[in-house]
Chain A
Amino acid sequence: MSISIHLQELSCSHDDVALFKALDHRFLPRSVYRVAGDNGAGKTTLLRTLAGLFHGTIGSIQWLSQGTDDSSTRLHVSEQRSNLLYIGHKGGIKLGLTPLENLRWLTEYEVADIPLMEALDRVGLFGYEFIPAAKLSAGQKRRVALARLYVSKHPVWLLDEPLTALDKVAVETLTELFQSEAASGRLIILTTHQPLEIDELVTVDLEYASCD
Chain B
Amino acid sequence: MRLSMLAKRDFTLYWRNKSDVSNALIFFVVAVSFFPLGVSPEASVLGPISIGLIWIVALLSVQLGLDSLFRDDYEDGSLEQLALSETPLALIVLVRLLVYWCCVGLPLSLFSPLLGLMLSMPAEAYSTLILSITLGTLYLTAVGAVGAALTVSLKRGGMLLSLIVMPLYTPILIFGSSSVSFAADGLDADGLLLVVFGLTVLSVSLAPLAISASLRMSLENG
Interface residues of A (CB under 8 A from B): 51-56, 78, 81-82, 84, 86, 88-97, 101, 104-106, 108-109, 132
Contact = CB atoms under 8 A, between A and B. Distances in A.
Contacts of A109: 1-2, 5-6
18 contacts: A51-B80, A51-B84, A53-B80, A53-B216, A56-B220, A81-B85, A89-B77, A90-B75, A92-B80, A93-B76, A93-B78, A96-B17, A97-B12, A104-B9, A105-B5, A105-B6, A105-B9, A108-B2
B16 interface: yes
B13 A86 contact: no
B170 interface: no
Interface residues of B, number: 24
Contacts, number: 71
Contacts of B5: 104-105, 109
Contact of B76 (A56, A78, A95, A132): A95
A91 B77 contact: yes
A163 B16 CA distance: 30
Interface in B1-51: 1-2, 5-6, 9, 12-13, 16-17
A184 B17 CA distance: 43
A94 B78 contact: yes
Contacts of B81: 86, 92, 106
Contacts of A108: 1-2, 85-87
B12 A55 contact: no
A89 B85 CA distance: 18
B84 A84 contact: yes
Nearest to B15: A96
Contacts of A78: 86
Contacts of B1: 105, 108-109
Given A90-B75, A95-B76, 10 more contacts: A53-B80, A56-B220, A86-B80, A88-B80, A90-B77, A91-B76, A93-B77, A94-B13, A101-B9, A104-B9
A28 to B, nearest CB: 22
A109 B1 CA distance: 6
Interface of B: 1-2, 5-6, 9, 12-13, 16-17, 72, 75-78, 80-81, 83-87, 216, 219-220
B155 to A, nearest CB: 16
A53 B77 contact: no
A58 to B, nearest CB: 15
B167 to A, nearest CB: 29
Contacts of B87: 108
Nearest to B6: A105
Nearest to A44: B222
B85 to A, nearest CB: 6
A101 B84 contact: no
Lowest 5 A-B CB distances belong to which pairs?
A90-B77, A92-B81, A92-B77, A92-B78, A108-B1
